[in-house]
Amino acid sequence: MKLSKLSLACLAAVSSLSLSGGANASTEGFEFHGYFRAGLLTSAENDFKKANFAGQKETLGRLGLEADNDASLNFANTWAFDDGRSVKVNVGLGDYGQESSLSASADAFQMGFGQLFIEFDGMSSSGIFWGGKREYGKDNYIFMTDFFYSDMSGTGVGITGYEVGDALLDFAYIASDRVDPTIDRWATDDAGNLENLNNIMHAFQFGVTYGALELSAMYKTMPDNWDYDGKEWAETGYDLTAIYTLNSFFGIPGNGFSKIIAQAGKGLGSGNLLAGTITSYNAYHPGSQFQGEHPDWTWSSASAGGDANRLLTMVDEKDTSARLLLWGGYTLDNGIGFFPSIQGQYNDHHENDLGSYDYWISAMVRPTFPVSDHFYVQGELGYVHNNWSGATSNQSKITVAPTFILPTGMGPAPEIRLLATYLPKSWTHTNESGESDSDFILGFQADVWW
């Protein structure tokens, strides 16, 4: 693209103004962060062919249930000025497409830009001003279950860490919509259905951190939130999150930590949208049983056959949800550790032909047993109970995972795990009556973050 003389003159003027204060870029720093997991799970009941998803890891525990691979790469470059200001440019890449996560081939797979945002530090007395496309709120995370209990990702602007007395404040506007190549977002028709299938959700978030207590509130609006059949669903909603962090395992003396999380929402803040925006992760994580993936809903044209990404925004203005999570860890003097998580969510559906309410409650624990500096044995026990307007179901699992590790002493601790999992009621195997039956899942997994 060619720049006119006027444009060049304006750029020069702006540059001279920015440097007129005498500030010079004194340091420049480059960062490279990332995460990946790659492995293979096989099903004994399917002649040790590649296993499908045998259960939901966010309720039962992630070990032995992650049938998919995952990768993300994040790059950042920071220019720091001698007057205390700095600018940081962030670029993130993530895998894209079903085959990129499920294939066992070493062939290259698709990746796309997941994060593209800029941070300004030093423009005000405190806080960091940011703008662009980013993952937001995903530091609220349970590592044993891979459960992000808030995911407010999208494209927006905001301020994080603004100091007011002893409190830190966050403000953000975030826009989100579906990544769905099957929908033409510019389509029009007489009925209006097509042009309203992928409208933007506008979210306004405010958060405050005061010592061990974190509070977050989010208001959302989504104009003309229609489904494939032209029905209008909730156009507004809100949710609230409170997180309390303890420097002990729920008050027990010793080497431990714990968190208590309470969340509630209404309308576009209910169900799978509780503490969330429109993201693929929110579409599939545990929330409302009316949402998530329902491939057997071939009769449902409104949700395109039970597609999780379509069901995500199909909530009523009067729908309400509440979620409670308790999790933490405790390590004995001999190095043996225990990391439990107890969680549940209740959903009240104002008008839903498939049921007026649903809820789920789960509990899991990951014990770890050190053997040497480079080897330890970890495992998981998990159980979940589901109730959908009186119809109940449950699932459980037990996993043993001998794990090789090389502590770097600098944060990252890459692991190679051998995985053996037994599920009495597996999603991968059904009996002659079509009911879930037992399966034994064997595999391995390499996992590292840096």
Q: Where are the alpha helices (DSSP H) in 120-274?
A: none
Mean pLDDT over 179-196 rounds to 75
Picking from 78-82, 92-96, 383-387, 422-426, which range would have the lowest pLDDT averaged per residue?
92-96
Secondary structure class of 97 (helix, strand, coil): coil
- C-alpha span between 377 and 364 (Å, rounded): 17
Task: Give the pLDDT of residue 8.
Answer: 39
- Residue 280's H or E segment, with its range, is helix 280-284
Structure tokens at 217: 């509130």
**Is residue 192 scored above 80 in pLDDT?**
no
Mean pLDDT over 395-416 rounds to 90
Mean pLDDT of the chain: 90
132 versus 9: which is more confidently predicted? 132
- C-alpha span between 189 and 196 (Å, rounded): 10
Q: Is the dihedral of CA 341, 321, 158, 168 positive or negative?
A: negative
How many residues appear in the chain?
A: 450
Task: Give the pLDDT of residue 160.
Answer: 97
Beta carbons within 10 angstroms of residue 284's beta carbon: 18
**Is residue 415 scored above 90 in pLDDT?**
yes
Mean pLDDT over 92-102 rounds to 72
Structure tokens at 211: 């010592």
Beta bridge partners of 136: none
C-alpha to C-alpha distances, 271 to 224, 263, 282, 315, 368, nearest whole angstrom = 19, 11, 10, 8, 33
- C-alpha span between 52 and 32 (Å, rounded): 32
Cβ-Cβ contacts under 8 Å for 341 (sequence gap 6 or more) = 142, 144, 145, 147, 325, 326, 327, 362, 363, 364, 365
C-alpha to C-alpha distances, 136 to 22, 24, 86, 131, 299, nearest whole angstrom = 34, 31, 21, 11, 36
Mean pLDDT over 232-243 rounds to 97
Task: Give the pLDDT of residue 221.
Answer: 98
Among residues 54, 58, 133, which one has the least CA distance to residue 420? Answer: 54
Task: Give the pLDDT of residue 52.
Answer: 92
Question: Can you give the pTM of this predicted structure?
Answer: 0.90
- C-alpha span between 428 and 425 (Å, rounded): 9
Residue 385 amino acid letter: H
- C-alpha span between 428 and 41 (Å, rounded): 12
Pairing status of strand 49-50 against strand 320-331: unpaired
Among residues 124, 111, 121, which one has the least CA distance to residue 89? Answer: 121
